[in-house]
Amino acid sequence: MQFIIVTGMSGSGKSCAMNVLEDIGFYCIDNIPPQLLTKFADICMHSKGRLDRVAVAVDIRSGDLFSDIFENWQILKDEAGLDVKILYLEANDEVIIKRYKETRRKHPLDDKFSSCLHKAISYEREQLSSLREAADYYIESSYLSASQLKKEIKSLFLEKSSDSMVIKIMSFGYKYGVSTESDLVFDVRCLPNPFYVKELRSETGCDSSVRDYVMSFEQSRILFDKIKDLLDFLIPLYVQEGKSQLIISFGCTGGKHRSITFTELVADHLASQGFRVQKNHRDIKKDVDYYK
Q: What is the pLDDT of residues 209-249, one digit of tens each?
A: 999 999 999 999 999 999 999 999 999 998 887 777 899 99
Instruction: Give residue-wise pLDDT tens across range 124-133.
Output: 999 999 888 8
Q: Which residue has the higher pLDDT, 151 or 207?
A: 207
Q: Which residue has the higher pLDDT, 253 or 82?
A: 253
Distance CA 151, CA 241 (A): 9
Distance CA 263, CA 9 (A): 45
β-strand partners of 107: none
3-state SS class at 194: helix
The edge-to-edge listing of strands for the beta sheet with 276-281 is 184-187, 245-252, 166-173, 276-281
Determine the pLDDT at residue 10. 94
Residue 281 clears pLDDT 50, i.e. is over it: yes
Distance CA 127, CA 6 (A): 15
Helices marked H in 84-116: 93-103
For each of the domains in the chain, give its residue range(s) and CATH number, in order of start: 2-158 (3.40.50.300), 163-281 (no CATH)
Distance CA 53, CA 250 (A): 34
Determine the pLDDT at residue 160. 66
Average pLDDT over residues 43-49: 85
3-state SS class at 126: helix
Determine the pLDDT at residue 292. 41
Instruction: Give residue-wise pLDDT tens across range 181-192.
Output: 889 999 999 999
